[in-house]
């Protein structure tokens, strides 16, 4: 197939690599020639490393490099079957691009956006053929992360949705389908991993080292919340939280924290700027977690976990995605050790409800409200999966 990628930044370059690796002809367009050159050089380095690690053969590396054309002229996109846009996260700029693209491409070309936070429906609305517009949301780094969220706009046709899904499935990705709602699946359900960890830290219940330790050692998560936020970057992570919160009409469930906002204001963005929650200066030694108190570690872990489960259950309750897709999304999109709904079954739905109710009773804050689906399931003695 002929694939067009618009934007040669972090995501565009990664998606281009994925498309080329899977036998497609790829055109990458960027208005910024410096960005194009940087992406091309970056891909050469990546391919070289993949050959060195014997992940791909030298022939395959040449094949991938030759399959990609780097250009700043949009006219060359006229024969594309699918275009994936990965430019700056700005609705007006994206809408203008989609309107311009429609004047160039064939009637059959699928127009996709990789947006993380904008409504796909609002991008489709600018187009003459809105039914061909869809969200195809990759995770960073696109060549490594298996998950892709397929997000039909309100206007997307069923045919385009299934076509887009089967194309991405054929690129060795795991696709999940989600409603066009803020944060889609992953960026919505993952919020408490960060916000509840910060809340526990703000309360002085434990240090960030201890909270990270609890999630890794007790919970089996690959990274602790503070380490992960530092890696993602607080500029990005805070912005996602704020966007999800405002998009949900300021639902207290998603309220951002001043603690993280101050980091952004200080430009302590995390690993990339040398300092975030942790200090990455070479001479700095990380504090040891207070590992002695197993009860504390268990309490931290379970509090964050039930908040995540509540979010996953509520997404299912509101038909954002199927239970299988919700569980797949969290294991493949953010590497959670288990699907949250399957995990909730294991812990016991009534235990989850009780823990949430205990938090709610203590704090009287809406963020701890238990999803109606959990309450209902307890009443009817139901589980998410019958064959656990
Ligand atoms: P980036 O800033 O690394 O790259 C954006 C590129 O688009 C730049 O090279 C810029 O020159 C180019 N560009 C800007 N306006 C353009 C236009 N009108 N026409 C052509 N090229 C243009 O951005 P990044 O991080 O790759 O993000 C791109 C999109 O992917 C955004 O919508 C973002 O929300 C989404 N996304 C980002 C993820 C991430 O972790 N960085 C993860 C998933 C989605």
**Domain residue spans in the chain?**
2-177, 191-388
Catalytic one among 116, 156, 310, 371? 116
d(CA 308, CA 302): 10
Whether 2-177 and 191-388 share one fold: the answer is: no
- Residue ranges lining ligand 1, Cβ < 6 Å: 6-12, 29-32, 35, 86-89, 93, 97, 114-116, 138, 140
Q: How far is the CA of 8 from the centre of ligand 1 (A)?
A: 7
The dihedral sign for the CA sequence 27, 32, 37, 41: negative
d(CA 342, CA 339): 5
Site to substitute for ligand 1 among 5, 11, 98, most atoms within 8 A of C-beta:
11
Cβ atoms of 383 and 377 closer than 8 Å: yes
d(CA 151, CA 153): 6
**Tokens coding 231:** 């890696």
Write the DSSP assignment of 98-154 as a string of letters: HHHHHTTS-TT-EEEE--SSS-HHHHHTTSSSGGGEEEEEE-SSTTT--EEEEEE-T
- pTM for the model: 0.95
Site to substitute for ligand 1 among 4, 5, 8, 10, most atoms within 8 A of C-beta:
10
d(CA 245, CA 260): 14
Q: How far is the CA of 227 from the centre of ligand 1 (A)?
A: 24
Cβ atoms of 381 and 349 closer than 8 Å: no
Name the CATH topology of 2-177.
Answer: Rossmann fold (3.40.50)
Cα separations in angstroms, 109 against 85, 101, 292: 13, 10, 59
Cα separations in angstroms, 95 against 88, 102, 233, 355, 367: 11, 11, 27, 44, 34
Q: How far is the CA of 360 from the centre of ligand 1 (A)?
A: 40
**Tokens coding 124:** 């489709």
Q: What architecture is domain 191-388?
A: Orthogonal Bundle (1.10)
Nearest CA to 193 out of 329, 345, 300 is that of 300
d(CA 111, CA 132): 6
Nearest CA to 320 out of 177, 193, 200, 207 is that of 177
Written as tens digits, the pLDDT of the chain (388 aa) is 999 999 999 999 999 999 999 999 999 999 999 999 999 999 999 999 999 999 999 999 999 999 999 999 999 999 999 999 999 999 999 999 999 999 999 999 999 999 998 999 999 999 999 999 999 999 999 999 999 999 999 999 999 999 999 999 999 999 999 999 999 999 999 999 999 999 999 999 999 999 999 999 999 999 999 999 999 999 999 999 999 999 999 999 999 999 999 999 999 999 999 999 999 987 666 777 766 689 999 999 999 999 999 999 999 999 999 999 999 999 999 999 999 999 999 999 999 999 999 999 999 999 999 999 999 999 999 999 986 5
Q: Which helix (H) or strand (E) holds 176?
A: strand 174-177
């Amino acid at each position: 197939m002929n694939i067009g990628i618009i934007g040669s930044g972090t995501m565009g370059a990664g998606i281009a690599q994925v498309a080329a690796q899977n036998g497609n002809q790829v055109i990458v367009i960027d208005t910024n020639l410096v960005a194009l050159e940087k992406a091309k050089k970056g891909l050469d380095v990546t391919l070289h490393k993949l050959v060195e690690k014997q992940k791909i053969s030298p022939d395959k590396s040449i094949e991938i490099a030759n399959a990609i054309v780097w250009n700043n002229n949009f006219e060359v996109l006229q024969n594309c079957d699918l275009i994936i846009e990965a430019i700056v996260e700005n609705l007006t700029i994206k809408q203008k691009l989609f309107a311009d693209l429609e004047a160039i491409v064939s009637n059959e070309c699928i127009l996709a956006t990789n947006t993380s936070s904008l409504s796909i429906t609002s991008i489709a609305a600018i187009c003459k053929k809105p039914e061909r517009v869809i969200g195809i949301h990759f995770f960073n780094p696109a060549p490594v992360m298996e998950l892709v969220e397929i997000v039909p706009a309100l206007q997307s046709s069923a045919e385009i949705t299934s076509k887009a899904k089967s194309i991405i499935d054929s690129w060795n990705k795991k696709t999940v389908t989600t409603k066009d709602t803020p944060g889609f699946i992953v960026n919505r359900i993952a919020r408490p991993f960060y916000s509840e960890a910060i809340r526990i830290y703000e309360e002085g219940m434990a240090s960030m080292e201890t909270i990270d330790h609890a999630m890794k050692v007790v919970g089996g998560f690959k990274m602790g919340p503070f380490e992960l936020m530092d890696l993602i970057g607080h500029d990005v992570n805070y912005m996602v939280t704020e966007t999800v919160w405002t998009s949900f009409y300021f639902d207290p469930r998603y309220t951002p924290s001043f603690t993280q906002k101050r980091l952004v204001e200080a430009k302590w963005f995390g690993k990339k700027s040398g300092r975030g929650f942790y200090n990455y200066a070479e001479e700095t030694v990380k504090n040891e977690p207070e590992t002695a108190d197993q009860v504390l570690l268990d309490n931290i872990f379970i509090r964050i976990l039930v908040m995540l489960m509540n979010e996953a259950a509520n997404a299912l309750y509101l038909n954002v995605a199927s239970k299988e897709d919700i569980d797949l999304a969290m294991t493949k999109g953010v590497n959670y050790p288990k699907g949250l709904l399957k995990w909730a079954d294991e812990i016991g739905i009534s235990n989850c409800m009780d823990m949430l109710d205990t938090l709610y009773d203590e704090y009287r804050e809406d963020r701890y409200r238990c999803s109606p689906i959990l309450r209902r399931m307890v009443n009817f003695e139901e589980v998410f999966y019958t064959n656990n």
